[in-house]
Chain A
């Protein structure tokens, strides 16, 4: 087995036990990355020098017998909307130029002080707006399982790099499925934690009330380890909740490990069609759940099914247009020097700096919050959002989690735009409502289609049930097997 194939736990144990050095792990991962990057383009920035220096430091600590963090020597990749002190952070946009933040996101502070070593910053849809990783100003990323297909988005670069074996874990952000959908497309685990569980400080915001940072891994136990470090109250994020969840402990279960658990299917989702591999996966999982002792029940979410998508776009765009207002060329980032006045400068910077998708959402947000329309759109959407959250809450009074697809179809070809509006709606239906209600969503790989593409599904739980979702995921992993690395990258080219 190559070093780059190891998981988080194995690296931590190996480095501590001096089976291999942190630098060896980093160099192997870097080697794997460089070998694949020309095909996949998962990264915007590679931090080889800083990473090697950090890995050497860890090795020195080991040599001196100094105490080590719980992730000592584990290479990591961060989505490029997570601020890293002194390291270029672009959010996949031209408008940030070569901006290197003078501070780090709390999640990066936590990971780096735990000993994680940064290997790079990953590609993403511009400002996390998109689900293909193709709206990036730095070009598209390819799916490691089929290089002609998208890895999903917006955290496509992070998902692809974990699937391709660059690193054992990466961070993404999920505003409306941006962790869960690429995790599903790339055949790995992705957790969108409960809103407020992981600090957003230092995450370049898209829809602030929807955004949440979460990890990608190739094993549930690795997910446990990462969440145990990330799930901490942060006084710098006023929406971060002071609630400690211990992710490291897990009871050993017997024959029927999910006995007593109630797993729900959403009635309203039955009317929507799924690609056959996904529909098959749903059937298979229901059977597996029943075999493990869980009871399969139905819940009804009429408001969610009907209004969540429209209201999501109203709220996300309204928040986005304010979050993105600060990019004007005055203080940092891309700037036009030829403009003749302030207004011209604003116009030129924003016209040239933002891509089309971002512009369309800024315009939407601007319109939806106009004083004459705000009540009808933005304010109405926030009211419906309360109903959606209440509907979920009622549903979860009697069930432990919901089993549902992440997307209705497998990854599409790069450059193929989805013209079918209804298909677009359905592809949002399974992800966006989770963010609207601030719920945790766990995306896992169930297996592979005949064409060799990963097939993912999703568990959604009530707020703060993140650990419970991972416990169920852990039991599933025993049956389904852990996600695999897409080893034969070059094969997809043909």
Chain B
């Protein structure tokens, strides 16, 4: 075809996300849901092993967490929903059927707002959030880590029966970038709601994408389900790869087959699934009565839902924070709560926002990086977070207030903050920073300015002769003085004193 180059391709993408809901026990039994670092098959019982005669009992907290996650995604909670048996044979599935709500879910008809590739607001509709049980984990002896061709395979059922929420979007996503923005926003909101830790490294969030491509000449490719993406990057690369692959097929006049493909993270390609996907069959789960949630319970749970990040960010902007600052501060609810506690303790919001966004987050990141380097952190340990900082929000608020009151310069306050990070009290940290509190008195400052100017006569000469057009040399002098005062002096006073001294050389001592 000679006019191939004129063809354009529009991707149509729907995303299915599995998240592990945060509960103490598994979805249908009382086995502990936290098995990290424990021996394989040490968190199992007749129910999550699907032993003959065992029966599921729905854990109430799973329902609550499902409702919370659904509400965080603007879904409507359905008063009566059902569970089904979804039949297929695989050794990680102990009953050879999965108990799932499928398309009669606890929550439906939600949406999330993201920005499209042009930066305009765009709504991604969410078809549903349904509850289901997770499967066990397979380990194969084969080099490619797959079941086919493996000499030996092992199954660990610790994960079997963990509570999952599957969140199915409408095919409203149009690019890999949008996909990543969608899952990022979704993850943030679900975490805000406390419905899941959504820790990607622990596999608490997994993605499947349904990708098809529409050609500008009116041809449609069939829908391809891409599976096995466990990180944002994998999701992005897999979608990019599929769009390219399908576009190329259409461009060459070929036909895109409806199939399931697996993302190979190492090779960064998708390959057609070797296992034939046959229709999955459903019957009503006879061991579980319909799940009925009362309007009272729904309202009770709604009351537990915290303010969501978008609403928080809007409120921060009203306090005068920049869009970027508001975005950074609301990325995690812990950081947002730290900031809000700081403001509540009397700190100026702008200065508090600035401090949290820079010093506080830097301290947290340094600590996380340190933990990684030391390698002390075991896979199961919770990552160091802002809540773990020794500097509590009210102390930071007090520090900020002292800056505002002129008792501490910003530079010195940063030294004090370092002391606080080491666990010192505010007073100890101030003392330790090497400066008497309360700034430098006017007389002492004048003396210091005179001495500094005298010691740097050449610089003073340059300034006087008008060579300091950009004010750099004045700044240099200011820096020297600030260093002398250990940052204790107020920069604007120092600037004023230098200016005054330069203007009145006769006053120089």
Q: Which residues of A contact B (CB under 8 A)?
A: 81-83, 89, 91, 96, 99, 101-103, 105, 200-205, 207-209, 235-239, 318-319, 321-322, 325-328, 330-332, 341-342, 346, 366, 369-371, 374, 378, 382
A331 pairs with B94, CB closer than 8 A: yes
Q: Which residues of B contact A (CB under 8 A)?
A: 46, 49-58, 85, 87, 89, 91, 94-97, 147-148, 153, 155, 279, 281-284, 286-289
A328 pairs with B89, CB closer than 8 A: yes
Which of B155, B279, B289 is the one whose CB lies under 8 Å from A330?
B155
**CB proximity of B147 to chain A, nearest CB, Å:** 6
**CB proximity of A334 to chain B, nearest CB, Å:** 13
Cα distance A202–B55 in the bound complex, in angstroms = 8
Q: Which residue of B lies closest to A99 (CB)?
A: B52
Which of B51, B52, B148, B153 is the one whose CB lies under 8 Å from A91?
B52
Which of A209, A236, A327 is the one whose CB lies under 8 Å from B55?
A236
7 smallest CB-CB distances across A and B, nearest first, come from A325-B96, A209-B286, A208-B286, A202-B53, A204-B52, A83-B53, A371-B279
**CB proximity of A80 to chain B, nearest CB, Å:** 11
Cβ–Cβ < 8 Å partners of B52 in chain A: 83, 89, 91, 96, 99, 101, 204-205, 326-327
A319 pairs with B283, CB closer than 8 A: yes
A201 pairs with B55, CB closer than 8 A: yes
Cβ–Cβ < 8 Å partners of A325 in chain B: 87, 89, 95-97
B57 pairs with A322, CB closer than 8 A: no
B279 pairs with A203, CB closer than 8 A: no
A105-B53, A237-B57, A328-B89 known; 16 new pairs, CB 8 Å cut-off, are A89-B53, A91-B52, A102-B46, A201-B53, A204-B52, A236-B57, A238-B55, A239-B286, A322-B97, A325-B97, A330-B155, A331-B51, A342-B147, A369-B282, A369-B283, A374-B283
**CB proximity of B50 to chain A, nearest CB, Å:** 5
Query: Of residues B52, B89, B147, which shows the largest number of chain A Cβ atoms within 10 Å of its Cβ?
Result: B52
Cβ–Cβ < 8 Å partners of B87 in chain A: 321-322, 325, 369
- 18 example contacts (A-B, Cβ-Cβ < 8 A) are as follows A83-B52, A89-B53, A101-B51, A101-B53, A103-B46, A103-B54, A205-B52, A238-B289, A239-B286, A319-B286, A325-B87, A326-B96, A328-B89, A331-B51, A342-B153, A371-B279, A374-B281, A382-B284
A238 pairs with B46, CB closer than 8 A: no
Cα distance A371–B287 in the bound complex, in angstroms = 21
A239 pairs with B289, CB closer than 8 A: yes
Cβ–Cβ < 8 Å partners of B58 in chain A: 238
Cα distance A202–B52 in the bound complex, in angstroms = 7
**CB proximity of A152 to chain B, nearest CB, Å:** 23
Cβ–Cβ < 8 Å partners of A378 in chain B: 283
Cα distance A238–B54 in the bound complex, in angstroms = 11
Q: Which residue of A lies closest to B86 (CB)?
A: A322
Cβ–Cβ < 8 Å partners of B147 in chain A: 342
A326 pairs with B282, CB closer than 8 A: no
**CB proximity of A399 to chain B, nearest CB, Å:** 28
**CB proximity of A261 to chain B, nearest CB, Å:** 32
Cβ–Cβ < 8 Å partners of A200 in chain B: 55
Q: Which residue of B lies closest to A319 (CB)?
A: B286
Cα distance A166–B279 in the bound complex, in angstroms = 50
Query: Of residues B50, B91, B94, B287, which shows the largest number of chain A Cβ atoms within 10 Å of its Cβ?
Result: B287
Cα distance A204–B95 in the bound complex, in angstroms = 13
Q: Which residue of B lies closest to A93 (CB)?
A: B52
A238 pairs with B57, CB closer than 8 A: yes
Which of B51, B96, B281, B282 is the one whose CB lies under 8 Å from A102?
B51
Cβ–Cβ < 8 Å partners of B54 in chain A: 103, 201-202
Which of A319, A342, A374 is the one whose CB lies under 8 Å from B282?
A374
A103 pairs with B51, CB closer than 8 A: yes
**CB proximity of B139 to chain A, nearest CB, Å:** 14
Cβ–Cβ < 8 Å partners of A326 in chain B: 50, 52, 94-96
- The secondary structure that dominates the A interface is loop
Q: Which residue of B lies closest to A366 (CB)?
A: B281
Which of A105, A236, A328 is the one whose CB lies under 8 Å from B91?
A328
B282 pairs with A205, CB closer than 8 A: no
Q: Which residue of B lies closest to A200 (CB)?
A: B55
Cβ–Cβ < 8 Å partners of A204 in chain B: 52-53
A205 pairs with B279, CB closer than 8 A: no
Cα distance A370–B283 in the bound complex, in angstroms = 10
B94 pairs with A203, CB closer than 8 A: no
Cβ–Cβ < 8 Å partners of A319 in chain B: 283, 286
Cβ–Cβ < 8 Å partners of B283 in chain A: 318-319, 322, 369, 374, 378
Q: Which residue of B lies closest to A332 (CB)?
A: B51
Q: Which residue of B lies closest to A103 (CB)?
A: B46
Cα distance A382–B54 in the bound complex, in angstroms = 24
Cα distance A328–B91 in the bound complex, in angstroms = 8
Cβ–Cβ < 8 Å partners of A370 in chain B: 279, 281
**CB proximity of B136 to chain A, nearest CB, Å:** 10
Q: Which residue of A lies closest to B84 (CB)?
A: A322
Cβ–Cβ < 8 Å partners of A346 in chain B: 89
**CB proximity of B257 to chain A, nearest CB, Å:** 20
**CB proximity of B481 to chain A, nearest CB, Å:** 76
Which of A203, A328, A330, A366 is the one whose CB lies under 8 Å from B53?
A203
Cα distance A331–B286 in the bound complex, in angstroms = 23
Q: Which residue of B lies closest to A95 (CB)?
A: B52
Q: Which residue of A lies closest to B49 (CB)?
A: A331
Question: Assuming A322-B283, A325-B96, is B288 touching A238 (CB within 8 A)?
Answer: yes
Q: Which residue of B lies closest to A211 (CB)?
A: B286
Query: Of residues B54, B56, B97, B282, which shows the largest number of chain A Cβ atoms within 10 Å of its Cβ?
Result: B54
Cβ–Cβ < 8 Å partners of A96 in chain B: 52
Cβ–Cβ < 8 Å partners of A321 in chain B: 87
B287 pairs with A238, CB closer than 8 A: yes
Query: Of residues B53, B279, B287, B289, which shows the largest number of chain A Cβ atoms within 10 Å of its Cβ?
Result: B53
Cα distance A96–B52 in the bound complex, in angstroms = 9
B281 pairs with A328, CB closer than 8 A: no
**CB proximity of B143 to chain A, nearest CB, Å:** 17
Cα distance A102–B56 in the bound complex, in angstroms = 17
B279 pairs with A342, CB closer than 8 A: no
B53 pairs with A205, CB closer than 8 A: yes
Cβ–Cβ < 8 Å partners of B155 in chain A: 330-331
Q: Which residue of A lies closest to B57 (CB)?
A: A238
Q: Which residue of B lies closest to A104 (CB)?
A: B53
Cα distance A83–B94 in the bound complex, in angstroms = 18
Query: Of residues A105, A207, A342, which shows the largest number of chain B Cβ atoms within 10 Å of its Cβ?
Result: A342
Cβ–Cβ < 8 Å partners of A382 in chain B: 284
Cα distance A103–B29 in the bound complex, in angstroms = 14
Q: Which residue of B lies closest to A345 (CB)?
A: B91
A208 pairs with B287, CB closer than 8 A: yes
Q: Which residue of B lies closest to A241 (CB)?
A: B289
Cα distance A321–B54 in the bound complex, in angstroms = 16
Cβ–Cβ < 8 Å partners of B97 in chain A: 322, 325
Cα distance A99–B46 in the bound complex, in angstroms = 13
Cβ–Cβ < 8 Å partners of B57 in chain A: 235-238
**CB proximity of A358 to chain B, nearest CB, Å:** 14
Cβ–Cβ < 8 Å partners of B286 in chain A: 207-209, 239, 319
Q: Which residue of B lies closest to A235 (CB)?
A: B57
Cα distance A330–B157 in the bound complex, in angstroms = 12
Cα distance A201–B47 in the bound complex, in angstroms = 10
Cα distance A207–B284 in the bound complex, in angstroms = 12
Q: Which residue of A lies closest to B88 (CB)?
A: A325
Cα distance A96–B97 in the bound complex, in angstroms = 19
A342 pairs with B289, CB closer than 8 A: no
**CB proximity of A235 to chain B, nearest CB, Å:** 7
Cβ–Cβ < 8 Å partners of A209 in chain B: 286
Which of B46, B91, B284, B287 is the one whose CB lies under 8 Å from A342?
B91
Cα distance A202–B53 in the bound complex, in angstroms = 4
Cβ–Cβ < 8 Å partners of A202 in chain B: 53-54
Cβ–Cβ < 8 Å partners of B91 in chain A: 328, 330, 342
